[in-house]
Each structure stands twice: as C-alpha cells, then as structure tokens.
Structure 1
C-alpha cells in the first residue's frame, strides 16, 4: 500500500477571502494501492460534501510514501482537512475534469 494526499482545489466556504476555488484546498490522506483508487475513495467523500463553489471531485494526487506496516484495505486515514496543498517534490498526478485520466507531472525538483 501507498500513502497519498488527494486534493480538491479550494473549499466550499462562503468567505470571500478564504472560500471557493482559490481558497485553501480540501485534502485527504489516503492509503491505497494506486492513484486511481486513492482518488476514487476521496471522490466519494467529496461528492457528499457541500460543493456549490468548488468541484465535487479531486484534481490532484501526491504520492507521499509507502505504508510498509499495513496490509489492510484502502482507507481514508484523515480528512477532509482544509489547507493549501503544496507539492514538496513528491510524484504528482493531475486531471482537469472528473472523467479525465490521471496524468503524472514531473516535479520541478526533478529538473534541477
């Protein structure tokens, strides 16, 4: 299993400064085997959350590391939590629409 952070850009707060698509992001810490599996778990939760100002699906997935101690089923370990999502050189995948395939983007650190 692997540990992923799954991100929806923004949050559904009505606050004009911190809400909407440009506000801090809605994130989940997920244990799963694949990017698609991690996103699928988060998307089920996102669809159930308020989403008048943001999309009800995830936009990005970051691979944080491996879960070597667990052989349990895929699971949301934490979330949703609201924070600005920053990729610190991790492998990352993005999509622009709910049904788009996940596309890996090179890390800016990889070019250095």
Structure 2
C-alpha cells in the first residue's frame, strides 16, 4: 500500500484572512493502493463536511511513500488537518473537478 497526502484547497472557516479557499488547506494522510482510491476515500469524507466556503472534493494527491505495515485495508490514517499544502517535490496529481481524470503534475522528489 502507498501513503498519500490528499488535499482540498482551503478550509471551512469563514474567517476572511485564514478561511475559505485562500486559507490553509484541508489535508488527509491516506493509505491506499492508488491515487483514485485515496481520493475516493477523501471525497466521501469531504461530502460529509458541507461548507459554503470551499468545494467538497479533493484537488491534489501527493505520493509520500510506501507503507511497510502488513495491513492491506485502504483508509484515512489522519485528518482532516489544516495546513498549507506545498507538495514538497513529491510525485503528485491534480484535477479541476470531481470525476475528471487525475493529471500528473510532473513533480518528482
């Protein structure tokens, strides 16, 4: 299984400085076998967190590495947590709308 950071741009806060689409991002640490599986887990979680300030779907997925655990179930390990998502040069994918295919961002570590 792989470890991914799955990100929705912005956060649910209505604070004019630190909230909404221009504030720190909503992030999740996910164990999954693919980008699609990781994003689907987060999309389901975000759908349960409605907000008038941000979109309820994942925008970016970054591959962090491989998990060495013997567990094989895909799941969210941590999140949501709020921080600016930078990518840090990791391999990544993005999309502009839910249901669109994931596009390789070309970043490599």
When normalised by structure 1's length, the TM-score is 0.93
- Structure ranking higher in helix proportion: 1
CA positional deviation for 1:50: 2.9
Q: Which runs of 4 or more aligned residues in structure 1 lie more than 6 Å from their structure 2 counterparts after TM superposition?
A: none
Aligned residue in 1 for 2:18: 18
Q: For residues 14-51 of structure 1, what are the alpha-carbon distances to aligned partners after superposition, in whole Å with 9 as ceiling and x for unaligned?
A: 10000111100000000000000000000011011132
Q: For residues 46-73 of structure 1, what are the alpha-carbon distances to aligned partners after superposition, in whole Å with 9 as ceiling and x for unaligned?
A: 0111321100000000000001223320
User: CA separation in 2, counterparts of 1:17 and 1:101?
Assistant: 32
Q: Secondary structure at the match of 1:52?
A: coil
Gaps of 5+ in 2: none
When normalised by structure 2's length, the TM-score is 0.96
Pairing of 1:58-69 with structure 2 (within 5 A): 58-69=58-69
Aligned residue in 2 for 1:38: 38
What is the aligned length? Answer: 109
